């Protein structure tokens, strides 16, 4: 699938498709170790008891901020009454991928929204042997295998972090549970719970 946005610092390279899903996650050499291996990590929303992944039902516009390698993306769903403003970037010298989201309510009534982030790592490009664990002191999820560690987290402008999480086997996520640690072929999901405002999501690599 063609990549609409690519952000990189020369070691960490992240590529997004036309629905703002992360399709490539290279580290530590661009083009060598793709830790998604053809899979993807995606973004979803829940509001008014309805859930939606960012997909073809959303109107998505993707570009770069002028003269930068930082994305400037917009996603609108008239059915859910949400507009998302999203910026993606990689720190210039730290191996950190950052995603900033601004959630706008395009309806008149006051509502709450949950933002879901799925993480479908295939570390080293391999199908098996990954481990995902919840780190309670950091309120974060860590995916790791051998020498590669990926920490994923989020925080809102109300200073709230991960509200709930789940880990489970890949391709069978409907039965995932909130386990502290899970091994084999796995993926993870977490969401943050907030009123309308700003959310920061980030991933640290090679801890």
Give residue-wise pLDDT tens across range 78-102: 999 999 999 999 999 889 999 998 8
Q: What is the pTM of this model?
A: 0.84
- Tell me if 165 sits within 8 A of 178, measured CB to CB: yes
In a domain, 30, yes or no: no
Handedness of CA 7, 13, 17, 21 (dihedral sign): negative
CA atoms within 13 A on the CB side of 52: 21
DSSP string, 1-58: ---SEEEE-SS-EEEE-TTS-EEEEE-SSTTT-BSSTT--B-EEEEETTEEEESSTTS
CA atoms within 13 A on the CB side of 150: 28
Expressed as residue numbers, the domain containing 148 is: 44-205
> How many independent structural domains does the chain possess?
1
The enclosing domain of 97 has a CATH number of 2.70.98.10
In a domain, 28, yes or no: no
Handedness of CA 31, 33, 38, 39 (dihedral sign): negative
In a domain, 68, yes or no: yes
pLDDT tens across 119-138, in order? Answer: 889 999 998 888 888 888 98
In a domain, 9, yes or no: no
d(CA 174, CA 36): 20
Q: What's the pLDDT band for 189 if we cut at 50, 70, 90?
A: low
Neighbours of 159 (CB within 10 A): 6
In a domain, 14, yes or no: no
In a domain, 156, yes or no: yes
- Which pLDDT value is given to residue 20? 94
In a domain, 67, yes or no: yes
Give the containing element (helix H, strand E) for 69.
none
How far CA 204 is from CA of 16, 17, 32, in Å, comes to 18, 21, 19
In a domain, 173, yes or no: yes
């Amino acid at each position: 699938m063609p990549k609409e946005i690519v952000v990189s610092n020369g070691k960490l390279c992240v590529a997004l498709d036309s629905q703002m899903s992360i399709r490539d996650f290279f580290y530590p050499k661009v083009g060598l170790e793709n830790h998604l291996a053809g899979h993807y990590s995606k973004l979803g929303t829940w509001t008014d008891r309805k859930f939606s992944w960012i997909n073809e039902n959303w109107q998505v516009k993707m570009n770069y901020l002028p003269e930068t390698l930082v994305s400037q993306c917009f996603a609108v769903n008239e059915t859910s009454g949400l507009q998302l403003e999203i910026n993606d970037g990689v720190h210039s010298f730290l191996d950190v991928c950052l995603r900033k989201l601004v959630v706008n309510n395009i309806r008149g009534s006051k509502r709450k929204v949950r933002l879901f982030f799925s993480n479908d790592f295939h570390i080293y490009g391999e199908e098996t042997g990954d481990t995902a664990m919840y780190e309670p002191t950091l309120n974060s999820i860590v995916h790791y295998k051998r020498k590669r560690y990926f920490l994923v987290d989020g925080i809102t402008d109300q200073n709230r972090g991960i509200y709930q999480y789940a880990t489970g086997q890949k391709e069978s996520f409907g039965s995932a549970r909130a386990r502290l640690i899970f091994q084999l072929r796995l993926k993870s999901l977490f969401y943050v719970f907030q009123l309308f405002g700003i959310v920061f999501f980030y991933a640290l690599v090679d801890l």
